[in-house]
Copies of this chain bind each other. A is one copy, B any other.
Amino acid sequence: MPETQPIRLDSQLCFQIYTANKKFNKFYQDALKPFNLTYPQYIALLTLWENAPMSVKKIGKHLHLDSGTLTPLLKRLESHGWITRNRSPHDERTVIIQLTDKALSQRDAVYDRVNSCQDLLNLTNDQIEDCMATLTMLDEHLDSYNNRDTDE
């Protein structure tokens, strides 16, 4: 009879990532307190600073989020004056997100704040790159198991 292997929580990669994710969340929540941004709001802005204007759909592809998450999140960013939301004149189904003057003018301040906080983490570039590499590999393994995310 094969013995069922007990599963120790602390030895599980998933739990390590689950924990790291929560800690990163808190880290950014604190770092971004001056701007009153949550981590998901921050990464939405990051994408927009690179690619705006963008449709909700396109933001979702970058962040792997669906409209159920993005619609309320973007409404919050809009109500705080970071973005505008408007239906495309060419295709009334899509909503085009644009950055406001506030978002454009505060961009560098946010970048500076995040960069300086990251410095305090005292991670070497090598450490970060090692971690990124293994996680990229892990992501691919998970993708091939998960229902194949029809991302582009």
Interface residues of A (CB under 8 A from B): 4-9, 11, 13-24, 26-28, 30, 39, 43, 46-47, 49-50, 62-64, 107-108, 111-112, 114-115, 117, 120-123, 127-128, 130-132, 134-139, 141-143, 145-147
Contact = CB atoms under 8 A, between A and B. Distances in A.
Contacts of A127: 134, 137-138
14 contacts: A8-B50, A9-B47, A9-B62, A16-B135, A17-B21, A18-B24, A18-B43, A20-B21, A21-B21, A26-B146, A30-B147, A121-B142, A131-B134, A131-B135
Nearest to A128: B13
B112 A9 contact: no
A71 to B, nearest CB: 18
B130 A9 contact: no
Nearest to A31: B145
Contacts of A132: 11, 13, 16
Number of copies: 2
Contacts of A138: 20, 123, 127, 131
Nearest to A15: B43
Contacts of A135: 13, 16-17, 20, 131
Contacts of A46: 7, 9
Given A23-B139, A131-B13, A135-B131, A18 B4 contact: no
B16 A146 contact: no
